[in-house]
Chains A and B, each alone.
Chain A
Amino acid sequence: MTSMRITKRRTAGVLGAILALGAAAAVVFMTAGGASGAGSQTGTATALPRSQTFYMSGNQWSPNNDLNPAKNWDYITGLVGFAYETPFRYDPLKDKFTPWLASAGKWKSKSTYVMTVRKGVKWSDGKALTAKDFIFTLSTLKIPTHAQNPLWRDTGLKSVAAKGNTVVFKFGANPGYQQFDFYRYNVAIVPRHVFARFGKTDLASGNLKQPIVGTGPYLYQSGIGTQTQTVVWKKNPNWWATKALGLRVAPKYVVDIKNGTNAAALANFVSGNIDLFNNFAPKSAIRGSAKTYFSKAPYHLGANTTWLFPNTTRKPLDDKQFRRALAYSINMSQIIDKAYQGLVEKASPTGLLPIWKKWVNPSLVKKYGFSYNQAKAKSILAAAGYRDRNGDGYVENKDGSKIDLEIICPNGWSDWMTSIQIIASSAKAAGIKITPAFPEYNTLVDDRGHARYDLLLGNDRQYSNTPWTYYQYIYRLPILSNQTSMNYERYENAKAWNLTKGLDKIPSSNVKAYRSQMAKLQTMFMQDLPAIPLWYNGMWAMFNTKHWTGWPAAGSDRQFTPSTWRNYWQMTSIDMLTHLRPA
């Protein structure tokens, strides 16, 4: 009996030891894993003070270990904006450029642009920011595999040179002004003395392990690692903009939370652990201390247009009359109510975002635009020769062959899945047979790139300084064997593409020429409808007012982009942080 008891005790002891060892080993691994991520790791031994900390979530999906500002689909949230900054910032809601690391910038002639490097800006290691840092950064963009290489490839830029405190950009004839403006606020200037040791391959696609030496409002504190949940940024007491522009970011700490599942993230927001939530959330979540940019529908700013792309290499989608009929048949308000509970807004028939409203010509929209109208859809079909010859309730092709289209969206994207079902059913009412299908995302990307589809949704283009980014998305030529990021509909219209290229070459200051070019593009777009604009996808942003107030809001003096998404910090998301107040 005694020996039995000993055995028993031994078993319990062994189990206890395994547990203790396991827990200890786990913690050791985790701390070691976190520390190996970066040289300047200083772990927070104690919790951050809630009243001085800003928690945000909605941008980071990939591991928190990419420190390459060139990879704007992967780098850690805040790398550009908090640490590295851009020569200019761009306010999309006011269409205004703000000098930032460049204190001024001007076209000296039609093909020479001069940027003045701001004086008194220091890198966080104490070295001064100079024109050499600008030149170094711009030269890295010459690497063909660098994501921002089109600055050299597509704008006509020939050379950059430092001249004292300035950077001189020399272009060939007819520079791409619109594209260049885009790069003015999207190229993050990096410190030459840190980045010079990296090779070309690393600069274009590496993760660039480095102590983060930036110029911006925050210093990296901790969290770099492959499996960390958060990245912590601490206020930079020596931020140049405090002295130069009187700007102060309110939160002492900013914690960016990596996305897990949407449900878990939403639960965290509801329980008050997250201050800014940039994921989609149902309308029911907007209550109590949870606020949004607009106090009523659509609650969120429209960040991008959702388009219906027809494969124009297939019949009858190659016929603009058929596409027009399809556009008229779509019951948009049903989509807005059922798929989005009113959280989105119907898109302009031009497809242009609300921020470009001043370029939209209302008389053209009245003349060429479309809206939900089944009778009109039917009459367009009839006039173009699409009739129901066999009495099955659906129209046939002009040659009598059956029309049986498929509309696709990625499986699991529930709002889009509901939307394409509504599109299919409203098209049916007009006599067009469309069947929804939900392939896996990678299958869809593959089929989209190689024109193996009939109809699909896309919303890849975000806010920018210029509708050129939108027209390029629709019209870009030549068509490649694989269309990975634009002109999914394979619409070949040299005239439209030339108009788009022409728009790029008009400086924004030439308002008259710009407006007239925009009018031509709008007319052509609405007449041909190579893609059908549907609704504006929201810049999802819910604010928790428990710990911070002074959030961006329509109609206030705080009309800023309330988003942690990449490329928004150098728009006006930083202004959000300088205007917040502790509650």
Chain B
Amino acid sequence: MAHYLARKVVIYLLTFYVAVTIDWAIPRFMPGDPVEGLLSRMQAQPGSQEELTGYYTKAFGFDVPIWKQYLNFWAALFHGDLGPSVANFPTPVWELIRGALPYTLALLVPAVLLSFWAGNKVGALAARRKVLDNTALPVSYVLTATPQMWLGIVLAWVFATVLGVLPVSGAYDLSLQPTWSWEFVRSFLEHWILPFSALFLVAFGGWAIGMRNMIIYELEADYSNYLASLGAPTKLVRRYAYRNALLPQITGLALALGAVVAGAIVVEIVFSYPGLGSLTLSAIQNRDYFLIQGIFLFLIVGVLLANFIIDIAYVFIDPRTRIGMQGGA
């Protein structure tokens, strides 16, 4: 177990190091100087230009050689400092991310878990059941092939513009401020449904198809046939098949997380939902390098962490891993 964990930790640390280094490098190799961009946005008078350039170059830490900037970046990172936002100087990037994070998590976590749960259930039910298979399968194919952004636009158009039953954008009503009141919670949920659905439905389709195919495969396995020939009820056979089919699906969940996060970003933009996605858009629009860097760093850590948790969970879910480890260790 310890050996397994240690190996995993090393791999994750290495991935983290490489990903963070790339994340640090990308804004620096992008064309355009953030200080110049800021001065242009300020419409700075040429008389003050030298002072302003000097001040902001120093404030962003660009006044030292590039290798030192890289070291400073890591040093700051371990102090939890992601630097100041360029466009919203001097707000710390971390403060901006912290403000947006709850909104993204409120969309992402339920969408990932519920779609995984519901998709697998429906997929398992549909396998080898003619009527369900003929309806659920094509629907799932359509859903999983739909870009989240497009589905979001369609949902917004149907439910907000045409039917007028749900709000078209934002995370809560414009006449409210975030407070602990039923009115706010209700408004929050109303605004949450559409972006959540856009994420949920697309992911749901993918899981349903995956599970349906896996179940068919498992039902044809020797153990299923053997169990059935012993006279076990179909329900029991299917239950065993489900448990086995779930394993590759969990691996799939780890792989899919990155795509889901990307999906959440575009869905938030469609609905002007004030989470990390909208923050990313405004960071890009404002050429806010440090903010872009901070958000990506955050996503990297989030996805790695989720993968790590799934890796650990796998040990408990799949007895073969445990046994293999005991034998190996």
A residues with CB within 8 A of B: 4, 11, 15, 18-19, 22-23, 25-27, 29-31, 33-34, 43-48, 50, 53, 55, 61-63, 65-66, 71, 73-74, 144-145, 147, 149-150, 153-154, 205-207, 222-223, 225-230, 232, 255, 257, 260-261, 264-265, 267-268, 271, 273, 440-443, 445-446, 449, 460, 476, 480, 482-486
Contact = CB atoms under 8 A, between A and B. Distances in A.
A266 to B, nearest CB: 10
Interface of B: 30-33, 36-37, 39-49, 51-53, 55, 59, 87-91, 95-96, 98-103, 105-106, 109-110, 113-114, 117, 156, 160-161, 164, 168-181, 183-185, 188-189, 239, 269-272, 274-275, 278-279, 281-282, 285-287
Given A23-B106, A26-B106, A260-B272, A33 B31 contact: no
B48 A144 contact: yes
A483 B179 CA distance: 47
A312 to B, nearest CB: 17
Contact of B110 (A4, A19, A442): A19
A267 B161 contact: yes
A43 B48 contact: no
Given A149-B48, A442-B31, A442-B37, A267 B160 contact: yes
A26 B46 contact: no
Closest 7 pairs between A and B when the two form their complex, measured CB to CB: A260-B272, A442-B32, A227-B99, A226-B99, A29-B102, A26-B106, A43-B179
A31 B180 contact: yes
Contacts of A153: 45, 47-48
B113 A53 contact: no
Chain B's interface: helix, strand, loop or mixed, by majority?
Answer: helix
Given A50-B175, A226-B91, A27 B286 contact: no
Contact of B177 (A11, A150, A223, A265): A223
A265 B96 CA distance: 22
Interface hub of B91, B105, B183 (most chain A Cβ within 10 A): B91
Given A144-B51, A205-B89, A268-B168, A460 B43 contact: yes
Contact of A43 (B110, B178, B286): B178
A15 B120 CA distance: 14
Contacts of A61: 282, 285-286
A33 B178 contact: yes
A305 B37 CA distance: 21
Contact of B45 (A4, A154, A442): A154
Given A22-B110, A449-B40, A33 B98 contact: yes
B228 to A, nearest CB: 17
A486 B32 contact: no
Contacts of B282: 61-62
Q: Which of B46, B59, B185, B287 has the most CB of A within 10 A?
A: B46
Contacts of B99: 33, 63, 225-228
A268 B167 CA distance: 9
A15 B181 contact: no
Given A4-B239, A19-B110, 15 more contacts: A19-B113, A30-B102, A44-B175, A226-B88, A255-B174, A264-B170, A264-B271, A265-B169, A268-B168, A268-B174, A271-B164, A445-B36, A446-B36, A480-B46, A485-B46
Contacts of B103: 26, 30, 227
A45 B179 contact: yes
B239 to A, nearest CB: 7
A150 B49 CA distance: 11
Nearest to A256: B174
B48 A145 contact: yes
Nearest to A270: B161
19 contacts: A11-B117, A25-B105, A27-B188, A34-B179, A44-B177, A45-B183, A63-B96, A149-B45, A150-B47, A226-B96, A228-B177, A229-B172, A230-B174, A230-B177, A232-B177, A264-B272, A267-B161, A482-B49, A485-B42
A73 B188 contact: no
B113 A15 contact: yes
A53 B175 contact: yes
A417 B281 CA distance: 21
A288 to B, nearest CB: 15
B296 to A, nearest CB: 17
Contact of B36 (A44, A48, A482): A482
Given A63-B91, A485-B40, A44 B179 contact: yes
A144 B51 CA distance: 7
A145 B87 CA distance: 16
A484 B110 contact: no
A260 B90 contact: no
A144 B56 CA distance: 13
Contacts of B160: 267
B256 to A, nearest CB: 18
A74 B179 CA distance: 26
B198 to A, nearest CB: 14
A536 B282 CA distance: 27
A461 to B, nearest CB: 8
Contacts of B43: 73, 460, 485
A379 B281 CA distance: 48
Nearest to A48: B175
A96 B71 CA distance: 56
A441 B48 CA distance: 23
B47 A154 contact: yes
A229 B102 contact: no
Contact of A271 (B42, B168, B181): B168
Contacts of A460: 43
A260 B46 contact: no
Contacts of A227: 96, 99-100, 103, 274-275, 279
B178 A27 contact: yes
A62 B278 CA distance: 11
A486 B46 contact: yes
A34 B172 CA distance: 13
Given A15-B117, A442-B37, A34 B178 contact: yes
